[in-house]
Amino acid sequence: MLRNRARPDNRGEEPSPESVGELRDTPERPILIGTRRQVRYKPWIMEPHDRGGMSHRSLRPRVALETGNRMGQANLTNGLDSAGRAAAGANPASTPRRARVGVSLIALIAWLLAGLIVAPAHAQLFGGGGPGGGGPTLVIENARIITMTGPVIERGSIVIQGGRITAMGTEVEVPRRAMRVNAEGKTITPGLIDVSGGLGMDVEGQAGSGALRRAIDGFDPFNELAFDAALRNGVTALYVGPRSGNGFAGTGAVVRLARRDDGGRGVVLNDRFDFVIDFTNGDALNRVEAFEQARAMFRAALNHRDSLDEYEEKLTEYKEALKKFIEEYEKKQAEGDKADTAPATQPQPRGRGGRPGQGGRGQQDENKGPDKPTRPDPNREFDLLLEVLDGELRVRIRAEKDADILNALDLAERLGLSFTLEGGAESWLVASQLAERDFTVLLGPTIERVIRFNTNQPRLHSGAYSTLRAAGVTTLIGSNGAASGSGLGTRFVLETAQIALQHEPGPNPGMRALRMVTVDAARYLGITNQAGTLRRGGTADLVLWSADPTQGPAAVEQVYIDGRPAFAARRRGGQN
Amino acid sequence: MTHSMSQSNLAHPSPDSRTGSRVSAKTSHRPTVSRLAAAFLLGVCSLTAAAEAQRTVLIAGHTLMPDGSLERGQAVVVERGRIVAIEDADRFSDNDAGVHRFPDHVLSPGLIELGSSLGMRGNQTGGTEPIEPGLRAADAIDVHDPTLRLALEHGITAAMVLPDPSRIIGGRAATFRTHPGRGALGPTVELLNADGPAFLSMGPQVLDFNYGPTSRAGAAFDLREGLRQARQAGSPVADLLPHEQGIIALCASIEDVDLILTATTEAFGGAEGNAGRLVLIYTPDDPTVVHDLAQEEVPFVVGPLTFSTPSVQLLAVAGLANAGATVAFSNRTPLLHPDWLRTSAALSVKHGMDPAAARRGMTSAAAEVAGIGTGAIRVGAEADLVLFTGDPLLLSSRVDAVFIRGERVHGVRPSVADIGESEGAFQGGAR
C-alpha cells in the first residue's frame, strides 16, 4: 500500500557537502533531444580559433581530404570516403566482398598516410589531442582560481586535456605543445548554475497544464541568442522548468549548455527532474482551484492504486476459485466417465461481461465458472502521480503568495509528500512553517516592489533570505525563470544571489553568493560530477572573469565548456 | 584636541542638536544669577567645542574618488557639513577625537538618481498644452512621501525629478535631497537645484493625448516650433531656452535622438555643437551606433537596467561609455526599488563597462548632469556620504550609514573609534 511505500523524506542520494570533492567520475551519457540537424556554428559564438577546439579526431579526416585534393589524388579521396563508411559500420552490400576488403585496405593506408602528413602541422597549431581526443591541451596560467571545493589558489594554473581538468595548482607541469592562456590578474570560477531557470523555452508558448508534460519537449536547443546571453554572463548549466500552467505543470529537466553533435546547445543531464505543481497563475481563487484540483487528482491516483490492489486480490481469489472449479469439474468428469455419460459442454470460465456458455440455460449454471474480475483501465497520469507519492520523483511547488505556500504545505501534510518550493516570494512570511517540515526553498529575485499595484502582487522582501536562514530553512537562489516570459533572468543568477545575501551577517557575502550558484546548485540538481566545482578529473566548464566576482564588479571574458571556448568577449572601444 | 570634542555630529545624529540649549536645560534648577553665569560660561565653552566638534574624520577601507576609482588609506575630513580636506589616513591616530575608522567599508558620495519619481506620485500631470514652459518640477515634490526615506536608506541622497513627460516642452527639472530639510512648519524639500535643465520630451507619452500632437510628425513640428519661439524675445519659451542649465531631452528611440540633435542645432546654432548644454535621456539598444552617439559629446542618462533588459541594450550602454561618452544612470524610483540603481550600474559593468565609469555614473557624472555640487568626495563639496559594506557595484554590499552634510541620518552607530576598538565591522544592518 501507498502509506508504507511513501518516503517523504527520501534524500539519501544527495551527497554531503564534505563528500563533493571526493566524488568519483561517472561517465556522462548525454541524451540528445530534438531533430538531428546539421547547423553550422554561428560566427558570433565560435571565434576563429575555436575551430581548433573541435574534436581532434573529427577534424583529421576533413583536413586529410583537403590535402588529398590538393595533391590531386582522387583515389585517396574515394578511399577515405569508404574507409569512413567502413569505420562507421556501414555495410556497402552492393560491393563484392574482395573488392570491399581491397578498397578498405587502400583507404586505411591512405588515411594513415594523410594523417602522418597533416598531424605534425596540426599538432603544432592546436596542441596535442587529449587522451580522449576531446580537444587540444589548454593551460590557463597565473589566475586566481576559485575551486569551490578547496582553498582559493592564487596565481595558479589549470591544465585541460580531453575536456577535463587534468592538473590544477600553483606548480603544475605544462604539457608540451599546449595552448597557453595568460590570465594574469583574472579569476577563474566554475560555470554558474541556475536551479530554477526557464531559458530556451520560448517555443513552448503559453502552456496549459497536465502532469505528463515534459519541459524538455519545449526546450529549443537551437536558441543561440538565449544561450549566448547566458554564457556571456557565465551560466553553463541550468534547470529548465515547464512553462507555467495552473496545477500540474509537468516534469522539468537539467541541461548543460555544452555543444551538441547536431549543432545545437544543451546536453541534457536529466530529462526528468522534479515534478512541478504550479500555484502562481491567475487570481487567488484560480490558485485555490488549482490546489483543490491537485488534491483531487492525487486522491484519484490513490483510489486508482487501491482499485489495482483490489483487482490483484480479486484476481488471486478468482484464480483459486477457478482452480477449485476445474478440479471439481475434472472430478465430476471422472465420475461421469465411470458412469459413461459425456458432459454436454466444456466448462466455461466467465470472462469480461460474463460470456454465456454454449449450452442451454439449464446446463449453464451447472458449468458456470467463477467471474473474472475486471482490470482497471491503465492511466499514465495516475502512474506518474503515484511515482511522485512514492517519493521516486521529487515535487517542486511553485508558489509566491503566503496563502498558496500554506496550501502547498497542507497538500504535503495530507499526502505525506516532501517538496521544494520554487519562487517563494512570500516564503519569509511563513518561514517557521517551512522550517518545521524541513523543506527547501529555491528563492527567486528578492528586490522589493516599493509600490504594489494590487494585492495579488507578492510582497517581496530584501531580507527574505536572511529571514529564512534564521528560521532554519534550507534556501537556494535561482532566477525563478518560469515566472518570466523569456527566462533571461538566468543570466543574472549570481547577481540575484548577491542581492539576496545583502542582509546576511558575516564575512564575504560575495563568496557565499558564488557558492550558492555553483556547488550548492549542482548538489541540488544532482550534477556535482558535471558542474559546480573545479577539481582534477572534473569537467572543464569554467569562467574566466576580468576580476574576482566575489570581491567586486567583474565582466566575463571567456567561458569554456568541456575545455573549449564557448564564449569570448570582444572588447575594443564600443564594440562588445 | 580635548576629549569633549569627540562629541561630534556622528555621535549625535539629531539634526537639531544644539549643544547650548541642552546645557541650559540641565542647569535650570540653579539660582538665577549663577544660572546665567553658568549658562554663559558653558555656552561659550560649548560654542567653541561645537565649532571644533564639527570636525569629523572618516577613514574607510576604501574611498570612492571623483574619478570613480576606489582608493585605500584616505581620510575624509568634514567640517561644518563640507569636506575640508582629504588626507593620508596614516596622519591620524585612533585616539584622535572625531576619527572614525571603517576598515571593511567603502565610503562613497551619496548616490544620485536622475530619472526619479520620488515625491511625484500624482503630482505631475495637469493642463493639456504640448508646450508648457512655465512648469517647475520643484513645485510638485511631496516631502512627506515615505519612499524618500527608503531611497535615502539605500544610498540615494539626491534625486532629479522631471516635469510631466507627456509635454514636448515641459518646464524645468529639479534636483533635491532625499533627506528633508527643517522648516518652520516641519520638514521641507531641500532643493539642490530648483531651476534645473529645461525638459524636452519625445517619449511615447507625448502621443498618448487625445489632444495635442497625435502623430510623430506632429510632435516633431511642435518641437521645432517651440524651439523657434525660443529665439523670439518675450515668448514664454524664451525664458526657458536657452538657459545656462541647458536642456535635458527624453528620447525613446534613435530617431528621437536624431530629431532632438537636429532641432536644437537648428534653433541655437551649431558652431560649437550641443556639447555642454544638452543631455539625452536615452538607453541605446544597438551596439553598432554607440560610436556615433559618443561623437556627439553629449552626456547620456540611461536606465533603468534590470534582469529582464535585453543583453544587446546592456552591451550598448557599456559600449557607449567605453566609446568615451559620459553615462549616468536613472532608476524611476520608487516605481523601481532604489537598489536597482546600483544594479543598473553593476549589469553594465558585467557587460564590459569600465567600473570607474559606472561608479561615476551614479555619483559625479550624475551630479554634473543635474547641475549640483555634491556627488563627489572632493574638497569643498558638501559631505553627503554613504558607507557601503563593500564596493557599491558589488550587489552583496549594503548601505550601513548615510551622512547628509556630515551628519549621520541613517545607519549604524559608528562606535568603533569611540570605544577604542582597533578593528572589526559593525554589527547589524541598514534596517
Q: A334-374 pLDDT, tens per residue?
A: 888 777 655 555 555 555 444 444 444 444 456 678 888 99
B309 CA: distance to closest CA in chain A (Å): 9
Chain-chain contact of B429 with A503 (C-beta, under 8 angstroms): yes
Give the closest-approach CA distance of A554 to chain B in angstroms: 6
The helix (H) or strand (E) run that includes residue A255 is: strand A247-259
Query: Which pLDDT score is estimated for A68?
Result: 32
For B291, the closest chain A residue by CA position comes to A574
Tell me whether residues A447 and B391 touch, CB distance under 8 A: no
C-alpha cell at B292: 556615433
Q: Are B93 and B140 in contact (CB under 8 A)?
A: no
Averaged pLDDT for residues A482-489: 81
Residue A493: its chain B contacts at CB < 8 A?
none
Please answer whether residues A502 and B397 qualify as being in contact, where contact means their C-beta atoms are separated by less than 8 angstroms. Answer: yes
Mean residue pLDDT of chain A comes to 77
User: What 3-state class would DSSP assign to B91?
Assistant: helix
Question: What is the pLDDT at residue A54?
Answer: 34
Reading the block at residue A17, the C-alpha cell is 557537502
pLDDT, residue A368, reads 77
Residue B300, min C-alpha distance to chain A (Å): 15
Looking at residue A4, its pLDDT comes to 40
Return the beta strands (E) in A416-573 as ranges: 419-423, 440-443, 475-477, 542-545, 556-561, 564-568
Taking the CA of residue A102 and the nearest CA in chain B, the distance in Å comes to: 57
Rounded Cα distance between A120 and A135, Å, is 16
- Residue B140, pLDDT score: 86
Q: Indicate the residue type of A278.
A: D
Cell of B420: 577604542
Contact A534, A165 (CB under 8 A): yes
For range A255-274, the mean pLDDT: 92
Interface probe, candidates B333, B394, B399, chain A, greatest A C-beta count within 10 A:
B394
Q: Is A463 on the interface with B (CB under 8 A)?
A: yes
Closest to B396 (Cβ–Cβ): which among A232, A489, A510?
A510
Q: What is the rounded CA–CA span in Å between residue A254 and residue A266? A: 9
Q: Do B337 and A495 touch (CB under 8 A)?
A: no
Contact (CB, 8 A) for A435 and A469: no
Q: What is the DSSP-derived secondary structure letter of residue B375?
A: S
With CB atoms and an 8 Å threshold, state whether A232 touches B346: no
Answer for the pair B193, B371: CB distance below 8 angstroms, yes or no.
Answer: yes
Q: Considering Cα of B148, then B152, then B155, then B158, what sign does the dihedral take?
A: positive
**Of the candidates A201, A217, A188, A237, which has an alpha carbon nearest to the alpha carbon of residue A521?**
A237
Which helix (H) or strand (E) segment holds residue B79: the answer is strand B74-79
Q: For residue range A278-329, list pLDDT tens digits in order.
A: 999 888 899 999 999 999 999 999 999 999 999 999 999 999 999 999 999 8
> Does B333 sit within 8 Å of A553, measured CB to CB?
no
Burial of A184 (0-12, 13-18, 19+ CB in 10 A): exposed
Which residues in chain A have Cβ-Cβ distances shorter than 8 Å to B323? 573-574
Asked if A228 and A190 touch (Cβ cutoff 8 Å), the reply is no
- Is residue B298 left, alpha or beta, with left meaning phi > 0 and alpha meaning psi from -120 to 50? beta
Chain A nearest CA to B383, separation (Å): 25
Cα separation, A495 vs A484, in Å, equals 17
- A–B: how many Cβ contacts below 8 A? 122
Pick out chain B residues at pLDDT < 50: 1-31, 44-51, 414-431
pLDDT of A471 > 50? The answer is yes
Q: How far apart are CA B158 and CA B178, in angstroms?
A: 5
Do the chains contact at B393 and A553, CB–CB below 8 Å? yes
Choose from B145, B335, B359, B395 for mutation: most chain A CBs within 10 A. B395
Q: Which residues of A44-59 are buried (b: 16+ CB within 10 A; e: fewer)?
A: ebbbeebebbbbbeeb
B230-265: buried (b, 16+ CB within 10 Å) or exposed (e) per residue? beeeebebeebbbbebbbbbbbbeeebbebbbebbe
Neighbour-count burial for B52-91, b at 16+ CB within 10 Å, e otherwise: bbbbbbbbbbbbbbbebebeeebbbbbbebbbbebeebee
- A2-34 pLDDT, tens digit per residue, is 334 433 343 334 444 443 333 334 344 444 443
| Cross-strand bridge partners of residue A268 | A31, A255
Q: What is the pLDDT of residue A152?
A: 95
pLDDT of residue A195: 97
A457: number of Cβ within 10 Å: 13
Contact A257, A265 (CB under 8 A): yes
Smallest CA–CA distance from A445 into chain B, residue: B307
Q: Is the pLDDT of residue A103 over 50?
A: yes
pLDDT given at position B284: 96
pTM: 0.78
Nearest residue of A to residue B287, measured between CA atoms: A575
Are residues A551 and B394, on separate chains, in Cβ contact within 8 Å? yes
Distance from CA of B233 to the nearest CA of A (A): 42
- Is residue A142 within 8 Å of A155, Cβ to Cβ? yes
Q: Are A357 and A378 in contact (CB under 8 A)?
A: no
Backbone angles phi, psi at B224, to 5 degrees: -65, -40
State whether B347 and A495 contact (CB < 8 Å): yes
Query: Do A239 and A252 touch, CB atoms closer than 8 A?
Result: yes
pLDDT at A308: 94
**A91 vs A327, more confident:** A327
Cβ pair A553:B394 closer than 8 A: yes
> What is the CA B326 to chain-centroid distance, rounded?
16
Say whether A498 and B395 touch across the interface (CB within 8 A): yes
B246 sits in the region (left: phi over 0; alpha: psi -120 to 50; else beta) called: left
> What own/partner pairs with CB < 8 Å and gap ≥ 24 does B183-189 have?
B187/B143, B187/B144, B188/B143, B189/B119, B189/B138, B189/B141, B189/B143
pLDDT of A60: 30
User: Which of B287, B346, B429 is opposite residue A553, by nearest beta carbon?
Assistant: B346
Q: What is the nearest CA distance from A446 to chain B, expressed in angstroms?
A: 11
CA distance to partner chain B, nearest, from residue A199 (Å): 12
> With an 8 Å Cβ cutoff, are B307 and A554 in contact?
no
Q: Which residues of A touch B338 (CB under 8 A)?
A: 450
CB contact under 8 Å between B396 and A509, yes or no, is yes
